[in-house]
Amino acid sequence: MNLIFKNATIIDKNSPFNNKTVDIKVESGIITKIGNNIPAENSFETVELDNLHISKGWFDSSVSLGEPGYEDRETIANGLNVAARSGFTDIALQPTGNPVADSQSDIAFVLRRSEGAATTLHPIGALTKGSEGKDIAEMYDMKNAGAVAFGDYNKSLQDANLLKIALQYVQDFNGLVIAYAQDDKIKGKGVVHEGIVSTRLGLKGIPALAEELQIARNLYLLEYTGGKMHIPTISTARSVELIREAKAKGLEVTCSVTVHHLLHTDEVLGNFDSRYKVAPPLRTEADRKVLLDGVLDGTIDIITSDHNPLDVELKKLEFDLAKDGTVGFESAFGALNTLLPLEIIVEKFNAGKIIFGLGNHDISEGSKASFTLFNPEGEWFFTQKDILSKSKNSAFLNQKLKGRAYGIYNNGKLILNS
């Protein structure tokens, strides 16, 4: 497919064309010319979109899909299509299927199912067998099969020695350990943040300490072992401070925050709406502000949608019984664009490629064409018809967003919203 993207404003701080409106010529998946008024040719299709902006392709570092085992929630094929239409050229797939992706064959399976898609799937292998926290999984074999990191989704490794061994083991092949932070004993039976709101609603609370204590422990382990650690979806002010201090020491630690933790607080729980039941729980306004500061000062490396499709039978329950999770692809950009500068959004949607050891292609002549197409302007209300996922459990339903992703060009394929 040969294309000319007309009148596109490039958002790429490393490009000499940053913030300039130009035409981009793509031949056989390679950018061959960037300039003004590139003439159309017979073998080229012209792409012209209102207020078109283009950046390096966005990467979502935490995505759950149903397949294998829970295809009623989401399939890999549809999930990748939704990701593409939401602006993501790359996603990291959590090992949340049935069976859990804890072996070479499991990694090979999800990669086969993603073949031919415009959005590239990068599997995360389970850190422990069955994500049960008892025995280290076959990380080296999974790495050879294509796994980009190792972690047990939303499960914290309670055995400190097991995490120590994992951090030491992956250094032989430059592996990345994902260490979700939550002390299960302190969490107990909590379902929301412990504070004024949980007391008012009569719901069992999860103290911020449950996250912070585990992060402190994990950082001590990292300081002892060396290696690389990624702490996903942090949610408290003290967590930001702990990671900032660790980075100042020179530890090789990175972290992410979710879109919904940057936009929402536990005050939205007043109606016991399980769409807002997520892990970690939504925290206070004070926490949200520090998370935002952490994004702006670089302490927080990645923003993720933490996309987790769940069918109605898992969410339309009493709040205590409902499963944690929200879909996030479709609303991610529009929600963040109401809060953050555009350049920061693009930066945080790209940083994970370097952290996870993936290619990050510049928008320059001679480079592979892998980019996101979007319009940063225009306010609109996000409704159920805008949810392309099979499951509809969105924490942003009926909220005002700003700007939309048009789609992507990646792997030689152009995917646009109709």
Distance CA 190, CA 204 (A): 4
Residue 56 bridge partners (DSSP): 371
Give residue for tokens 């979700």. 180
Structure tokens at 81: 């299509």
Q: Are 91 and 119 in contact (CB under 8 A)?
A: yes
Catalytic positions, written as ranges: 306
Strand order in the sheet with 58-63: 58-63, 88-93, 120-125, 149-150, 176-178, 228-231, 253-258, 302-304
Q: CA–CA separation, 188 vs 25, rounded Å? A: 56
